[in-house]
Chains A and B, each alone.
Chain A
Amino acid sequence: MSPYNALIGGVTATLLLGFAAQAQSDTLADIRERDVLSVGIKNDYPPYGYLDENNEIVGFEIELVRYIANELLGSPDKVELIPVVASNRIELLNSGRIDLIMATLGVTEERAQVIDFTEHYVSAAGASVLARQEARFDQWEQLEGQNVCGIQGAYYNRTLTDHYGIRLVNFTALPEAYRALQDNRCVAMVFDDMTLRQKLGEPGWEGYKIAVEPYEYLPMAGGVRKGDEAFLDAVNAAIVKAEGEDRLIDWEGEYDMPPSDHIAARAEAARAVAE
């Protein structure tokens, strides 16, 4: 969810505003006729969608896509996985090349004008803070005036400097920032929560912890063409069913993702509705 994605999404959104209004169709009937579901996915974004050592596309979202295909068409294999990038995924959807976007799509107002979002199946953590085990701070406010290593151009830099008064020491790339943190140039380092948590699992990082939790979460959802009600309902029903069966929690474990409160809460809610 880089700001770049948001921009490109916004531009695409504007371009396709007129087009999307006409593109009303019954995708559900259409895919049943074709007997295959075309889904735009990421193939370079672990843990959501990436290539494993056998060059197979795997990941958290891929599991969900296969589950949905199974619900809609009766087989997890009746799916055509089409790698997309942030700049083309909405256009591919609205031009009819794909039926569904499941590609780390962040929910934004601009995009909601040109596509419909499915259930928000993931709440992706924003930035969190990595620091030594001894660190005694656990709130963003406590970092005011402190040197914190980061990355140049990150979308949250403005909030951190302007709102929290943090003195960011921003590098051009991650390896330098990690090095500087280990050299004690900064009391902590700020970056995407998921990346930092995976870093903690690497050798040499035993003395570190996530000291401050993210201050924001960005919901991620699937995307369908606007006004495609029957298809949207079917996809949503499949997502909620998977949630109620704790499948998303299983996939979190399978792909080494930190357990998310959002997913656990949605699983509870899905079961509550079903009863």
Chain B
Amino acid sequence: MFGLDYSWLGDPVYQRWLVDGVWVTLQLALVSSLAAVAIGLVGALGQTLRLWWLDACIELFVEIFRNTPPLLQMLFFYFTLTQIGFTVTDPVTGLQHPLLSAFVSAAISLSLFGGALCIEAFRSGLDAVPKATLEAARSLGYTRLGLFRRVQAPIAARVCLPSLTNILTNLFKTTSQASVITVPELMYAAGQVYSDTFRTLEMMLMVLLVYVTLVSLLAWALTLAERLLAYPGYGKGF
């Protein structure tokens, strides 16, 4: 159909490469998404403590990792850290080996990049809780912790879910850059297959379809969570 040739899909070697590639993409996306959300929570909570030196540290972290390309960060963790001495010595051969593997380098940089974006998203969620609501809760006798747990956090979570969906879908797509530091994810596998078969258009269409499917599933799950958690005035209900 349309002159497209997908006969190479029948090749077991290419099937294995592509399935393995999708699997690595999923692993990388999952690990870095969880870590990014965790970093975001810690950072946003840290900012509520109102300690000037902690705020300064968090702000510096956000500025560095939000404002640099993830590809550059991956190359930094993969090559530069090794160059400046992040190595382990092999007890048998005495050779210096890099401390961070390609997957770990990619996962760390994606986590920090996503984490920086999450801190900002969660902070904006906390900031969005109306002052009047907080004052009302305080006048009802909530302690600082109780106020946060029962009033501020539930509202903030619902406010920042849409931007979290954006961040995580973006992070999922950014995993494709890890092919540059040899993480054998979907794009890495796809590149080798079309180099062998010359079916570049067919391969790209297929990769496109896989990403659309996977990212749509992720976005759909997060939207569902948004709806389930919705309450009047915050989040989108059914």
User: In whole Å, how far is B195's beta carbon from the nearest beta carbon of chain A?
Assistant: 3
Q: Does B96 contact A (CB under 8 A)?
A: yes
What DSSP secondary structure best describes chain B's contact surface?
helix
Contacts of B191 in A (CB 8 A): 152-153
Contacts of A153 in B (CB 8 A): 191-192, 195
| Contact between B196 and A155, CB atoms less than 8 A apart | yes
| Contact between B188 and A7, CB atoms less than 8 A apart | no
Spot the interface stretch: A52-60, A64-72, A166-174.
A166-174
| Contact between B195 and A172, CB atoms less than 8 A apart | no
0/1 interface trace, chain A 156-193, chain B, CB 8 Å (1 if under): 01100110000001111000100110011100000000
Contacts of B95 in A (CB 8 A): 184
| Contact between A183 and B98, CB atoms less than 8 A apart | yes
Q: Quick one: which of A130-155 are within 8 Å of B by CB? A: 134, 152-155
| Contact between A183 and B79, CB atoms less than 8 A apart | yes
Q: How far is A42 from B198 in the complex, measured between Cα atoms in Å?
A: 24
Q: Does A258 contact B (CB under 8 A)?
A: no
Q: Does B217 contact A (CB under 8 A)?
A: no
Contacts of A158 in B (CB 8 A): 13, 192, 196
User: In whole Å, how far is A159's beta carbon from the nearest beta carbon of chain B?
Assistant: 10
Chain B interface bracket (under 10, 10 to 19, 20 to 34, 35 or more) = 10 to 19
**A interface residues, how many (CB within 8 angstroms):** 22
| Contact between B196 and A169, CB atoms less than 8 A apart | no
- Chain B residue, CB-CB nearest to A8: B198
User: In whole Å, how far is B189's beta carbon from the nearest beta carbon of chain A?
Assistant: 10
| Contact between A170 and B188, CB atoms less than 8 A apart | yes
Q: How far is A162 from B79 in the complex, measured between Cα atoms in Å?
A: 28
| Contact between A3 and B188, CB atoms less than 8 A apart | no
| Contact between B97 and A162, CB atoms less than 8 A apart | no
Q: Quick one: which of B70-95 are within 8 Å of A by CB? A: 79, 82-83, 93, 95
Residue in contact with B96 in the complex, picked from A155, A179, A184, CB distance below 8 Å: A184
Q: Quick one: which of B186-204 are within 8 Å of A by CB? A: 188, 191-192, 195-196, 198
Contacts of B180 in A (CB 8 A): 171-172
Q: Does B102 contact A (CB under 8 A)?
A: yes
If A152-B191, A183-B79, A185-B82 are given as contacts, then 4 extra A-B residue pairs at C-beta distance below 8 Å, sorted by A number, are: A152-B195, A158-B196, A185-B97, A185-B102
13 example contacts (A-B, Cβ-Cβ < 8 A) are as follows A3-B196, A7-B198, A152-B191, A154-B195, A155-B196, A158-B192, A169-B102, A170-B192, A171-B182, A172-B180, A184-B96, A184-B98, A185-B102
Instruction: List chain B positions with a Cβ less than 8 A from chain A.
Output: 13, 79, 82-83, 93, 95-98, 102, 179-180, 182, 188, 191-192, 195-196, 198
